[in-house]
Chains A and B, each alone.
Chain A
Amino acid sequence: MAVEKFPIEAGHIMMFARAIGDANPIYYDENYAKTTELGGVIAPPTFVQSSAQYDPDYFLRPKIGQPWMGSGKEPTGIKPGQGSGGGSGRGLHAEQHYEYHKPMRPGEVLYATVKPGKKWEKEGKRSGKLVFSETIIEFRDEKGDLVVTACGVGVQTERAVDQG
Chain B
Amino acid sequence: MALKSSNLKVGDVHSERIVEDLKRTQIVQYAGASGDYNPIHTDEIFATKVAGYPSVFAHGMLTMGMTGKMLTNYVGDGRLTKYGVRFTNQVWPGDDLEAKAIVEAIREEAGDNFVDLKIETTNQNGVVVLSGSATALIDP
Please give the residue numbers on chain A whose beta carbons come within 8 Å of chain B beta carbons, in ascending order.
Answer: 12, 15-16, 18-22, 24, 26, 36-38, 42, 44-46, 49-50, 52-53, 55, 58, 60-62, 68-71, 75-76, 86-87, 89-100, 103, 151, 159-161, 163
Please give the residue numbers on chain B whose beta carbons come within 8 Å of chain A beta carbons, in ascending order.
Answer: 2, 18-19, 26, 29-30, 32-40, 42-43, 45-47, 49-54, 59-62, 64-66, 68-69, 71-73, 77-78, 80-87, 90
Partner of B87, one of A21, A55, A94: A94
Q: Which residues of B lie under 8 Å from residue A20 when comparing CB positions?
A: 30, 62, 65-66, 68-69
Q: Are A45 and B72 in contact (CB under 8 A)?
A: yes
Tell me the minimal C-beta distance from A79 to chain B in angstroms.
Answer: 12
| Total contacts A-B at CB 8 Å | 157
21 of the cross-chain contacts (CB-CB < 8 Å) are A15-B33, A16-B33, A16-B65, A18-B33, A19-B26, A19-B30, A21-B19, A38-B78, A45-B83, A52-B34, A52-B35, A69-B46, A70-B46, A76-B46, A89-B46, A94-B86, A95-B84, A97-B83, A98-B82, A98-B84, A151-B84
Q: Which residues of A lie under 8 Å from residue B85 when comparing CB positions?
A: 95-97
Partner of B69, one of A21, A90, A163: A21
Partner of B68, one of A15, A26, A46, A95: A46
Other A-B pairs, 6, CB within 8 Å; known A46-B65, A76-B50, A163-B53: A16-B34, A45-B68, A49-B34, A49-B61, A52-B35, A75-B50
- Residue ID in chain B nearest A45 by CB atoms: B68
The 8 closest A-B pairs by CB, nearest first: A97-B84, A20-B65, A89-B51, A70-B39, A160-B52, A52-B35, A53-B35, A75-B49
State in angstroms the CA–CA spacing of A53 and B64 once bound together.
Answer: 19
Partner of A100, one of B34, B36, B81: B81
Partner of B39, one of A36, A58, A89, A103: A89
State in angstroms the CA–CA spacing of A44 and B68 once bound together.
Answer: 8
Q: Are B61 and A21 in contact (CB under 8 A)?
A: no
- Residue ID in chain A nearest B59 by CB atoms: A93
State in angstroms the CA–CA spacing of A87 and B38 once bound together.
Answer: 9
Tell me the minimal C-beta distance from B76 to chain A in angstroms.
Answer: 8
State in angstroms the CA–CA spacing of A19 and B46 once bound together.
Answer: 22
State in angstroms the CA–CA spacing of A6 and B81 once bound together.
Answer: 21
State in angstroms the CA–CA spacing of A87 and B34 once bound together.
Answer: 18
Q: Are B77 and A24 in contact (CB under 8 A)?
A: yes
Q: Which residues of A lie under 8 Å from residue B36 when comparing CB positions?
A: 49, 52, 60
Tell me the minimal C-beta distance from B1 to chain A in angstroms.
Answer: 10
Tell me the minimal C-beta distance from A32 to chain B in angstroms.
Answer: 11
State in angstroms the CA–CA spacing of A26 and B72 once bound together.
Answer: 11
Q: Are A99 and B33 in contact (CB under 8 A)?
A: no
Tell me the minimal C-beta distance from A78 to chain B in angstroms.
Answer: 9
Q: Which residues of A lie under 8 Å from residue B54 when comparing CB positions?
A: 163
Q: Which residues of A lie under 8 Å from residue B40 when comparing CB positions?
A: 89
